[in-house]
Structure 1
Amino acid sequence: MDRASAVSASRRQSATHRIEHLRVKVLATLPHDRRAFTQGLEMASGTLYESTGISGRSSVRAGLPGRKPNVRVALRAPLFGEGVTVLGRTLWHLTWRNRVAIERDARTLAELRRVPYPDEGWGVCLQRDRHRLVTSDGSSRLTFRDPRTLAKTGEVTVTEGTRPVTELNELECVGGAVYANVLFSDRIVRIDPATGAVTASIDASGLLHDDETVGGAVLNGIAAVPGTDQFLVTGKFWPRMFRVEFVPA
């Protein structure tokens, strides 16, 4: 092995060693609508926002965690709801393959305008300190966007060691990190958006009992609880939501 190859291998090995292995520690269990095909989850100003999918059954909701929503707005078919993120008085609500994103009033959820969105909509979160949105499309790519126009401003490929991490789905921005559900798995990854490197792999398995799962009931939904190190996590068609901490595995 030449010197350049050795240095490259050493750097890859060092990056791998920096990946934390964490698990969820359940602090509380809350009820969750088992009919909700959860696509987006976010806490803001004490309100939990949730977007649900499936054409003809999609909605966006707002209320207290574990309670019936105070406000709920349905999306007419063929719209398929996806990720949601709050920007103060407004929020962005993505759709899957409908090539449109909807800006809504954060209090009433009333539609304010629609903006073209040529990519597949999956997850979205707001990096306030960078004044940008981070979005996913089911690939290994995170795309950065202008929070007003949704125009692309950059992108990064997410890697774990040297391997790309695909199926990135629902997103949550916390400080300088981005958390992502990995579709069809019980895993959440923490990502450094500056480099795309996975800095933590979080095992969220075992939250539901076997008799609570149905077809399509996969982990998808992560919301940071403001002012704490805690998160709310749930999944598509899950009957429960969990308030958790991420602790060493």
Structure 2
Amino acid sequence: MNFIKFFILNGLLLFFMSCGGEKDPAKMFSLQLKKNGKSYIATDTIRPFVKNKKELAVEDLTFTLAGQELQSVDEGWVLNAEKLGVQKLTAHFLSDGKPLEVSRDIKILAPASPQLYTYTIINEFPHDITSFTQGLEFYRDTLYESTGSGGGAKSYVRKINYKTGEVLQQVNLEPQYFGEGITLLNDRLYQLTWQHNVGFIYDASSLERLDKFQYGKSREGWGMCNDGKHLYKSDGTERIWLLNPETLTEEDHIQIVTNKSIFNKANELEYVNGKIYANVWQKESMMIIDAKSGAIEGVVNLGGLREKVAQHPKLDVLNGIAYHPERKTFFITGKNWDKLFEITLQKKE
């Protein structure tokens, strides 16, 4: 019996040695940065190098950032980052004729602080005081709204005459779902739910439910918008996800970044001319985010609107952004607000 155990143990040892006994050559190297900083901006020139303790040869050295090859300038490499946030820097090289690579994460911040904006109220319209607003969007001059089930009310999607507040059509969600953001594209309405990892697809005209979809890498369902090609989805983290509207797969993401830090409070979303306007969760403000890089280029102070609505025990935070492309104005409301405000934005001097 002892001989058999000895034979088996030695056989297993030989097997593991043959599979993994030889060290991974890439582990002999590490990627370092001269004048190593805590963060960089998109146009910085960095000076990375490959370090190894055994002084092994490093040849044909190149670098990529998030898969894009960097340009060599003098003794450095220009980041030229298209996307901000935490990105992967990778060194590619040959050592002893073997192609190897080593990586590390670096943080890339926005090049400038956000521009401050204020607002002017153009109109005030009636809004259902019982609506716990989560999503708001215009589609062919009709205002669509989705709500969560706050305060014991049901979650629903509805079409509204924004001038009168009249409900034109409404579809309720099943009681277990907490409704979140919506967006409309190609005659379809897409709706998120908060923590059930599922979204719904409706016909934009009839509000007939056509299908549902599961979330992939994103954590929860918060806000939605679209640029005519992709859906954008916030999930309570620093990421805004880009979804294919046909497959609903999360094909890419951007990270929300200022010139000082990475930010994670984007809630309700609206896309306008290459920018994502995002309600800041639990705040009376709105971010203006570059949809390609993730840089927060502006912050709108929406303080004062909540004081203009009926004050009551169930009154909650500002939430709901809709842009009217013909009027070129924004419509803003909140959870259990009795008013819908039409505003324009101005840079603060």
Q: TM-score, normalised by structure 1?
A: 0.90
Query: Is 1:136 aligned to 2:234, yes or no?
Result: yes
Tell me how far apart the structure 2 counterparts of residues 174 and 107 of structure 1 sit (CA, whole Å). 23
Report if aligned partners of 1:60, 1:73 keep a CA contact under 8 Å in 2. Answer: yes
Matches of residues 100-111 of structure 1 in structure 2 within 5 Å?
100-111=198-209
Tell me how far apart the structure 2 counterparts of residues 37 and 174 of structure 1 sit (CA, whole Å). 24
Q: Deviations over 1:162-203 (max 9, x none)?
A: 212222100001121111001110010000121110011000
Could you tell me which runs of 5 or more consecutive residues in structure 1 were left unpaired when the two chains were aligned: none
Tell me how far apart the structure 1 counterparts of residues 333 and 312 of structure 2 sit (CA, whole Å). 12
Percentage identity across paired residues of the two chains:
32
1:124 matched residue in structure 2: 224
Matches of residues 175-190 of structure 1 in structure 2 within 5 Å?
175-190=273-288
SS for the counterpart of 1:209 is: helix
SS for the counterpart of 1:63 is: strand
Query: Is 1:237 aligned to 2:336, yes or no?
Result: yes
Selected match of 2:210 from 103, 112, 134: 112
2:157 matched residue in structure 1: 60
Question: What is the CA distance between 1:209 and its match in structure 2?
Answer: 2.0
Question: What is the CA distance between 1:124 and its match in structure 2?
Answer: 0.7
- Compared CA separation, residues 13 and 116, structure 1 to 2 (3 A): closer
Report if aligned partners of 1:44, 1:226 keep a CA contact under 8 Å in 2. Answer: no
User: Greater relative contact order: 1 or 2 (C-alpha under 8 angstroms, separation 6 or more)?
Assistant: 1
SS for the counterpart of 1:15 is: coil
Matches of residues 1-249 of structure 1 in structure 2 within 5 Å?
8=40, 15-17=111-113, 19-54=114-149, 57-66=154-163, 67-118=165-216, 119-128=219-228, 131-209=229-307, 212=311, 214-215=313-314, 217-249=316-348
Write the letter of the residue equivalent to 2:156.
S
Report if aligned partners of 2:238, 2:265 keep a CA contact under 8 Å in 1. Answer: yes
Question: What is the CA distance between 1:228 and its match in structure 2?
Answer: 3.4
SS for the counterpart of 1:201 is: strand
Tell me how far apart the structure 1 counterparts of residues 243 and 109 of structure 2 sit (CA, whole Å). 32
Question: What is the CA distance between 1:141 and its match in structure 2?
Answer: 1.1
Question: What is the CA distance between 1:156 and its match in structure 2?
Answer: 1.4
Question: What is the CA distance between 1:105 and its match in structure 2?
Answer: 0.7
How many residues align? The count is 244
Divergent runs of 4+, >3 A: 2-5, 7-14, 213-216
Q: TM-score, normalised by structure 2?
A: 0.65
Question: What is the CA distance between 1:216 and its match in structure 2?
Answer: 5.8
Tell me how far apart the structure 2 counterparts of residues 113 and 156 of structure 1 sit (CA, whole Å). 27
Report if aligned partners of 2:110, 2:257 keep a CA contact under 8 Å in 1. Answer: no
SS for the counterpart of 2:130 is: coil
Report if aligned partners of 2:171, 2:207 keep a CA contact under 8 Å in 1. Answer: yes
Question: What is the CA distance between 1:23 and its match in structure 2?
Answer: 1.1
